[in-house]
């Protein structure tokens, strides 16, 4: 039988959250010798902060999908389009690949991120020891897709800049655009505040028993 692996915490080391320096812990107050930031074994109040950001993102998700994201003024007429109305428009005109991209990036991905983060937070709070590897992979997926979540906002920004035809047609961002941007930023911050090492703390505690 192989001997149990020695963890960094058991060896008296911790990683600085700011610069990534491996720091030997000594005394009650730990500071990074490179950037002088406070060093903790786990992010302070990680779950509470992630919950606060995630709840705020879930609240903003509703107006982001209900309110118009873009507003077009054409020949004296004003029309606002939500995310789903844009998806239905492209489906009606047979452009289903673009409709699928918009639905995936603007509706499915934010909802999936909120659901996955909620699953990670609940399981960590309950100190679950089941499927720890899978939960770590879920966290990596959330971090991976987070950087692509602003793609839809970039598209809206480019369209607003391009569709400026004076009296004939103008486009500007609708009331739902800031809420959608808030959902993207808040979910990214929630994933950043969550400490994935909490997933394995319960496993180590079980093995110690």
Q: What phi-psi label fits residue 82: left (phi over 0), alpha (psi between -120 and 50 degrees) or beta?
A: beta
Low-confidence ranges of the chain (pLDDT < 50): 1-2
Say yes or no: 30 and 88 in one domain: no
Helix (H) or strand (E) holding 173: strand 169-173
Backbone angles phi, psi at 59, to 5 degrees: -65, -45
Return d(Cα 176, Cα 71) in angstroms, integer: 10
The reported pLDDT for the residue numbered 196 is: 87
Read off the pLDDT of residues 188-197 as tens digits, 9 standing for 90 and up. Answer: 899 989 988 8
Say yes or no: 21 and 80 in one domain: no
The reported pLDDT for the residue numbered 1 is: 42
Say yes or no: 28 and 51 in one domain: no
Domain of 140: which CATH number?
1.20.140
Buried b (16+ CB within 10 A) or exposed e, 63-101: ebbebbbbbbbeeeeeeebbbeebbeebeeeeeeeebeb
Q: What residue numbers bound the domain in which 132 lies?
A: 45-208
Number of domains the chain contains: 2
Say yes or no: 24 and 124 in one domain: no
Read off the pLDDT of residues 75-90 as tens digits, 9 standing for 90 and up. Answer: 667 777 788 887 887 7
Say yes or no: 34 and 75 in one domain: no
Helix (H, G, I), strand (E, B) or coil at 102: helix
The reported pLDDT for the residue numbered 56 is: 96
Residue 118 CA: distances (Å) to CA of 50, 54, 129, 148, 190: 9, 8, 17, 20, 10
Say yes or no: 2 and 74 in one domain: no
Largest CA distance in the chain: 79
Say yes or no: 97 and 35 in one domain: no
The reported pLDDT for the residue numbered 23 is: 83
Say yes or no: 56 and 154 in one domain: yes
Say yes or no: 50 and 89 in one domain: yes
Q: What is the pTM of this model?
A: 0.79
Return d(Cα 88, Cα 94) in angstroms, integer: 10
Say yes or no: 102 and 31 in one domain: no
Read off the pLDDT of residues 44-60 as tens digits, 9 standing for 90 and up. Answer: 888 999 999 999 999 99
Say yes or no: 33 and 61 in one domain: no
């Amino acid at each position: 039988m192989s001997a149990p692996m020695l963890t960094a915490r058991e060896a008296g080391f911790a990683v600085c959250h700011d610069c990534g320096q491996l720091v030997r812990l000594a005394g009650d107050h730990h500071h990074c010798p490179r950037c002088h930031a406070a060093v903790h074994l786990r992010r302070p109040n990680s779950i509470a902060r992630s919950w606060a950001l995630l709840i705020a993102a879930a609240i903003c998700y509703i107006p982001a999908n209900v309110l118009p994201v873009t507003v077009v003024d054409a020949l004296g007429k004003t029309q606002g389009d939500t995310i789903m109305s844009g998806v239905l428009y492209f489906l009606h005109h047979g452009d289903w690949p673009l409709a699928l991209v918009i639905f995936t990036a603007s509706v499915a991905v934010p909802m999936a991120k909120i659901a996955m983060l909620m699953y990670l937070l609940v399981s960590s709070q309950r100190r679950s020891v089941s499927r720890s590897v899978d939960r770590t992979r879920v966290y990596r997926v959330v971090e991976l897709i987070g950087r692509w979540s602003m793609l839809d906002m970039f598209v809206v920004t480019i369209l607003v800049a391009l569709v400026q035809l004076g009296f004939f047609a103008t486009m500007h961002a609708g009331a739902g655009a800031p809420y959608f941007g808030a959902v993207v930023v808040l979910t990214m911050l929630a994933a950043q505040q969550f400490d994935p090492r909490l997933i394995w703390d319960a496993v180590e505690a079980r093995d110690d028993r």
